[in-house]
Structure 1
Amino acid sequence: MVKYFCNYADIESTWDQVVSAFWQRYPNPFSTHVLTEDVVYREVTKDHCLLTRRLLMKTNRLPRWAEHFFPGGISRCVYIMEDSIVDPVNRSLTTYTWNLNHTMLMSVEERCVFRDSPEQPAVTQLRREAWISSSIYGFSRPIQEFGLARFKSNQVKAMKGLEYALSNLQGDAPQRMLRDTVKDASDKAKEAAKSLASAAAVPQKPQQYV
């Protein structure tokens, strides 16, 4: 069984601005859990679409109840693959994301479509869909409910991060304050990455099961 989620949002910015801000979302003070982002592949097709694949690494704090089922040495990072298609002719940006690890515990797939609003030229419409599943027998339903709650919380942060990038592009906030806030967010992400790397280097005691 898969948990399905869908919602819509209007972004009060033109499609061109939203696409520009999309590539400049990180770092931002609302997404300090995003540690790294790397472009794996990029291509411009014959019909002028931009195809991009990116790999993102994020912190992944397990809920307390999940820690009883998984060894203490389990990775606290989640690797996310993101495919995106920018279609300048039809003025759409479509993204597909899914997690590469922890898939037995929970798999989260997301699709977002950003389009021009036909009624409001200065507004971009966003349709977001998500599919959440778990392979843990007997616990799949509560894990999916937890995953949906976390997904909704993360999407609120994602929207705030996008709005932050838009305000930076549009000059709605003092540039010095923006630079300082971004630097602070970047420093926090780097420290989190260092802590995770140090923890991974420490040998873990074997997990005992009765």
Structure 2
Amino acid sequence: FNYPWQHVTSSLWRKYPNPNSSHVKSVDVLSRTIDRKTGDVITDRLIGVEQSAPLWAIKLFNCSSTAFVLERLTVSPQLQRTTARSVNLSLSDYLTCHETITYTPHPANPTLSTLFSQTANITSAGALGWRMAEKKLEEHSVRRFSENAGRGREGECRKRTKGID
């Protein structure tokens, strides 16, 4: 991102609502604490999303298209590092998605740029006993994750340019 780490981190609190991530319906802060030793600000949030799950999966699991994700956002001012770790709560008996996003100052230009790193590990739990269905669910989830991640980054950039430039 072509913004300093401080700006990128502060814009995370304003990331939603975001027209590029219209699948995100709610963000609720569950807790916020400050680590007295490190000064880290740790925030746990519950994120409600409307997923376009395949119809066969909704019927098979008898579930709603609304899903919930638990996110832990850690802002480390001393290290100038922000980490967001999330895991799905909905359908976690069948499929889990562990996502980690980090923001750090760019080493070549720390006062003007921020590095963004995102990883996700999506796996089926094998609870179905139907490897073919599990594989299809994994493939769909990876595809949707990629689409949503791209839109989320676009939205972050738009939100950031409002009021900061």
TM-score (norm 2): 0.90
1 or 2 for the larger relative contact order (CA 8 Å, sep ≥6)? Answer: 1
Identity of aligned residues (%): 25
User: How big is each residue's C-alpha offset from its partner over 1:31-61, in whole Å with a ceiling of 9 and x where there is no partner?
Assistant: 1211111111101111211011011111122
Give 1:38's aligned residue: 28
Moved over 6 A (4+): none
Any stretches of 5+ residues in structure 2 without a counterpart?
A: none
- What number of residue pairs does the alignment pair up? 159
- In structure 2, which of residues 87, 103, 107 is the aligned counterpart of residue 114 of structure 1? 103
Give 1:53's aligned residue: 44
User: How big is each residue's C-alpha offset from its partner over 1:80-139, in whole Å with a ceiling of 9 and x where there is no partner?
Assistant: 111011011110000100111111342111011110011123111111111101133212
Structure with more of its chain in strand, by fraction: 2
Give the 5 Å matches for 1:1-210. 11-46=1-36, 47-71=38-62, 74-121=63-110, 122-135=112-125, 136-137=128-129, 138=131, 139-171=133-165
How many angstroms apart in 2 are the aligned matches of 1:160 and 1:33? 14
Cα distance change on mapping 1:142 and 1:49 into 2, 3 Å = same
Partner-residue secondary structure (3-state), 1:36: strand
Partner-residue secondary structure (3-state), 1:12: coil
Partner-residue secondary structure (3-state), 1:30: helix
The residue identity in structure 2 corresponding to 1:18 is V
Partner-residue secondary structure (3-state), 1:169: coil
2:96 touches 2:124 (CA, 8 Å); kept in 1? yes
Larger Rg: 1
Any stretches of 5+ residues in structure 1 without a counterpart?
A: 1-10, 172-210
How many angstroms apart in 1 are the aligned matches of 2:54 and 2:135? 15
Partner-residue secondary structure (3-state), 2:107: coil
2:58 touches 2:65 (CA, 8 Å); kept in 1? no
RMSD: 1.4
Partner-residue secondary structure (3-state), 1:78: strand
Please state how far the C-alpha of 1:68 moved relative to its aligned partner: 4.7
How many angstroms apart in 1 are the aligned matches of 2:152 and 2:48? 15
User: How big is each residue's C-alpha offset from its partner over 1:119-170, in whole Å with a ceiling of 9 and x where there is no partner?
Assistant: 1231111111111011332122222122111110010111012112101132
2:20 touches 2:154 (CA, 8 Å); kept in 1? yes
